[in-house]
Amino acid sequence: YKQLNITGYKTYVILGNNPEERAEKRPITINVSLRFMQDNMACNSDDLSNTICYSSLLNFLEKKLENASFKLIEKAAQFIYEA
């Protein structure tokens, strides 16, 4: 398989267990690995229409996280994984 990594994407979520921690959104950094089990068409075609728009992927994650809140960073990670 081939893998593409998106690293260092910063966003903000409500995160923490006590009210002081949850008073405002806190920064988290997201790293995403995409694995392609077979060659992605874009690898061979060099054609933008055959690829994933990584900006759209990150916007999707941002939208999912926009109104989410978590007590634990592990729960946030699971939420992102399931998105």
Confidence at residue 47, expressed as pLDDT on a 0 to 100 scale: 87
| pLDDT over 90 (residue 53) | no
pTM of the full predicted structure? 0.76
In angstroms, the CA 31 to CA 12 distance is 14
| pLDDT over 80 (residue 1) | no
Confidence at residue 77, expressed as pLDDT on a 0 to 100 scale: 93
pLDDT tens per residue, range 11-48: 999 999 999 999 999 999 999 998 887 777 877 888 88
